[in-house]
Amino acid sequence: MSVTDEAIDKIKGMIVSGELAPGDRLPREADLAQRLGLSRNSLREAVRALSLIRILDVRQGDGTYVTSLDPSLLLDALTFVVDLHQDRSVLALMEARRLLEADAAALAAQRIESEQLAELRRLLDAMRASSTIEELVQNDLAFHRTIADAAGNPVIAKLLDSLSGPTIRARLWRGITQGGAMDRTIAEHTAIVDALEHRNPEVARAWMVVHVASVEEWVERAALEAG
């Protein structure tokens, strides 16, 4: 373990133990370094790393604070990691997305509100009318985000948002439109909304699995063709 990793672990230990709570200000750098038996440079690197993943908030001229530690905040870094993945490594992300989206759809079928159903119908129409990849991506993001929100679990919603952000969706939609699979993809979206409207969790789950699996199949085929 590097000295910086050790420093990160010690700060994390203070948070996990409750010694530092969300919103708390860290002791002065010199005092904290001495207390933890670290050099100030190692502590500084640890603080920089923890601020990048939204655990700490460094405020110039004010000090360093523990953030709210809200899951939606901490999961922001995952979007960046996902966007870096290419080709076959995307398949593992797609598999995780399929599992989460299926359960989110099942929950949404039980909890969705009439306004959310109306929004899904509007987004379906917008997808059909989209003239650019950018429009498709934005409407598709909003469609899946609405379902995730309807599931009523903010952690699932944030995970799904992170697993399939604009960058990866742009690649997928470009492949779908070029491959002539647009009509089939829209039909899958429609079937999902129908199942949600009929409050049928298992049918909603099944159609979401079919939908994400068909996209997953395209990704795998594209990865194989790319070598």
Cα–Cα distance, 53 to 5 (Å, whole number) = 14
Asked whether the beta carbons of 79 and 161 are under 8 A apart, the reply is: yes
Q: What distance in Å separates the CA atoms of residue 2 and residue 22, rounded to the nearest whole number?
A: 26
Phi, psi of 59 (to 5 degrees): -110, 115
Percent of the chain exceeding pLDDT 70 equals: 78
102 C-beta neighbours (distance < 10 Å), count: 20
From first to last of the 227 residues of the chain, give the pLDDT tens digit. 577 888 899 998 999 899 999 999 999 999 999 988 989 998 999 999 888 878 899 998 899 999 988 776 666 655 555 555 555 566 777 788 889 999 999 999 999 999 999 999 999 999 999 888 788 888 988 999 999 999 999 888 888 887 766 555 555 666 666 556 678 888 999 999 999 999 999 999 999 999 888 877 766 665 565 55
Can you give the length of the chain in residues?
Answer: 227
Task: Quote the DSSP letter at residue 75.
Answer: T
Write down the residue that tokens 């993943």 correspond to: 53
Residues paired with 58 in a beta bridge: 64
Rounded to 5°, the CA angle 73-78-84 comes to 145
The span from the CA of 70 to the CA of 180, in Å, is: 41
Which token pair is 163? 């697993």
Topology annotation, domain 74-225: Four Helix Bundle (Hemerythrin (Met), subunit A) (1.20.120)
Q: Is the pTM of this model over 0.85?
A: no
Structural domain boundaries in the chain: 3-69, 74-225
Task: Name the class of domain 3-69.
Answer: mainly alpha
